[in-house]
Amino acid sequence: MSGTRLVRALATTAAVALAIAGCGGNDNSSSTGGTSGGAAAPTKAANAADPRGDGKAQCSNASLAYIGTIAGDNAALGLAILNGARLAVKQHNAANPGCVVNLREFDSEGSPDKAPGVVAQAVNTPDILGVVGLPFSGESKAVGKTFSDAGLVTISPSATNPGLSKNGWKTFFRALGNDSVQGPAAAKFITDDLKASKVCVIRDDSEYGSGLAAAVKEALGSKIVCEDQVKSKQKEFAATVSKVEAAKPDAIFYSGYYTEAAPLADQLFNKGVTAKLVAPDGTKDDQFVKNSGDAAEGAYFTCPCVPADEFKEFTDEYKKLANTEPSTYSAEGYDAATILLKAIDSGKKDRAGVLEFVRTYEGQGLTKKFKWDATGELTETPVWSYKVEGGKIVKNKPIGS
């Protein structure tokens, strides 16, 4: 790579599965992109729950809901989840004519201000028995009590702020781990894999960005040589770039979403900063690559998500439905919807029954084994690293391997 590159690519490492307890968090989510070669992907995970079931389900007037960004800022992150849920419901309904489940869609725009209004609509729609969402930590924090009071179970495929499970809500579950694991995993990747001893940590002003940055900082300790905060919708980053130039770090960790990360990366690149850029799941989206141009090449991401291309059947069916590759948390959205559909297929007819089904659920999904503790946290989750190579986001390796 040229010395003027923002980041320098390492050689691609063969991917092998590794699960570690707990995982990253976010207000938003992000997208995986292409594959990095190797053995052909299996059709599906062994014993993975199938939304089609046995085709004999019977139900009436049953709905699920997706609540999250559809058209707001960072919408690509929400759409990746929504399309995963759409696929699960489509497969279920095609196989079970006696139990056609509606998927109602509510656009929160990823906003803590707008989410309460659309959540109120969902809560007051009696046939909605479970929710896939909300994707972002800030909006999840704003509505968690409303769901809990209504007894309406939610499975978030991407909200990872650790504090969300500490509010006493009875209906909150994650389909991934939280930032108290992604943070240390990111720090381990930066120091062990990238061999960085001087790191700048830059965060946005979101609930997600702040929480994840704190976890990374704690794990990096004395290796931090500069810090800065940017604002949502910010476009010019001259002051931040100057701080980075003065600190001369080996690596930069950006804690936030792709909307701000792309222009920041571009401006760092244009100033000749050569530190390796590492960003989390909220930045890991094809829109980051598109919007940051040459600055994206060689960038790294950490994510508590399994590469979607690990499972050929899911990838093929998703592409037929969405006319695009699966993205970050597409498979987690599929898994979350599948579990809720299994609750309905088992005969659960009300919110209390579906909540109890999820609370006691244990089973293999596409992405991981699903079993929750009393706070709604998974007992098992993987953390992977990804990179931009040839203009595409490809899997790199499980962190810790």
Q: pLDDT digit string (tens) for 221-271? A: 999 999 999 999 999 999 999 999 999 999 999 999 999 999 999 999 999
Q: In the predicted model, what is the mean pLDDT of residues 273-300?
A: 96
Quick one: DSSP state of residue 189? Answer: I
pTM of the model: 0.82
Give the chain's mean pLDDT. 88
Match 């803590």 to its residue by tokens. Answer: 112
Asked which of 8-12, 80-84, 193-197 is least confident by mean pLDDT, the reply is 8-12
% of the chain at pLDDT higher than 90:
82
Which range is least confidently modeled, 8-22, 109-123, 352-366? 8-22
Q: CA 396 to CA 384: how far, in whole Å? A: 7
Question: Is residue 102's pLDDT more than 60?
Answer: yes
Say what the pLDDT of residue 337 is: 98
| Most confident listed range (185-199, 307-321, 378-392) | 185-199
Burial class (CB in 10 A: 0-12, 13-18, 19+), 95: middle
Read off the pLDDT of each residue in 273-284 and give the average, rounded to a whole number.
Answer: 97
Structure letter (DSSP) for residue 3: T
State the greatest distance between any 2 C-alpha atoms of the chain, in Å, as a whole number: 66
Q: CA-CA distances (angstroms) from residue 173 to 5, 79, 129, 131, 352?
A: 40, 20, 15, 10, 15
* DSSP 3-state of 161: coil
**pLDDT, tens digit (0-9, with 9 covering 90-100), for 307-341:** 866 788 999 999 999 999 998 899 999 999 999 99
Q: Is the pLDDT of residue 37 over 80?
A: no
The structural domains of the chain, ordered by start, are: 19-29+179-305+383-398 (3.40.50.2300), 63-177+307-379 (3.40.50.2300)
The total of other beta-carbon atoms located within 10 Å of residue 353's CB is: 16
Whole-number pLDDT of residue 44:
58
pLDDT at 43 over 90: no
Looking only at the bridges linking them, the beta strands covering 362-364 and 369-371 are antiparallel
Buried b (16+ CB within 10 A) or exposed e, 112-127: bebbeebbeebbeeee
**Residues 144-159, mean pLDDT to the nearest whole number:** 98
